Amino acid sequence: MSTTMSTAPPGLETLDFEFAGSKAAGTFAPILAGVVGSGNLEVLLEPAAHAACRFRVQTSARGFGPIWEAVLRDFHRRHDFAGLSVSINDMGATPAVVGLRLAQAAAALPASPGARP
């Protein structure tokens, strides 16, 4: 797992996380769950040629990198996706909303590969 943190345009923080996965997400059309708005976020899943599960978070709530890492690590632990790029645009969503949007997007994958309770 690797983590990098950098700043984007003023007011936003960009966080990148990568987890090694073993269950290929396969080929699918991009999947969008949620909508950017106050206290909410959108999640975009896209197939990728790499063997990892990569997350890019752009958030207005700066300084919460460790919490993002914990929520994304938990999602990845349950699904173990590989070959997946996840883009998240956040406007201050709580960890519960993040988990809900990730689950909604994963459920829309063909046959929801790699899903575990």
- How much is the pLDDT for 2? 61
Containing 105, the helix (H) or strand (E) segment is helix 95-107
pLDDT single digits (tens) 3-20: 666 554 568 899 999 999
For residue 86, tell me if it sits in a domain. Answer: yes
pLDDT single digits (tens) 42-78: 999 999 999 999 999 999 989 999 999 999 999 999 9
Answer whether 14's CB lies under 8 Å from 87's CB. Answer: no
For residue 17, tell me if it sits in a domain. Answer: yes
Q: How many domains, the chain?
A: 1
Containing 65, the helix (H) or strand (E) segment is helix 65-79
pLDDT at residue 26 greater than cutoff 80: yes
Q: CB under 8 Å to 93, separation ≥6 — which residues?
A: 39, 40, 41, 101
- How much is the pLDDT for 115? 44
- How much is the pLDDT for 113? 46
For residue 113, tell me if it sits in a domain. Answer: no
For residue 100, tell me if it sits in a domain. Answer: yes
What CATH number corresponds to the domain at position 102? Answer: 3.30.230
Q: Which domain holds residue 88?
A: 2-107
pLDDT at residue 21 greater than cutoff 80: yes
- How much is the pLDDT for 3? 62
pLDDT band at 117 (very low <50, low <70, confident <90, very high): very low
Which of 87, 86, 90 is closest to 36 using CA atoms?
90
pLDDT single digits (tens) 81-116: 999 999 999 999 999 999 999 999 999 998 754 444
Answer whether 105's CB lies under 8 Å from 84's CB. Answer: no
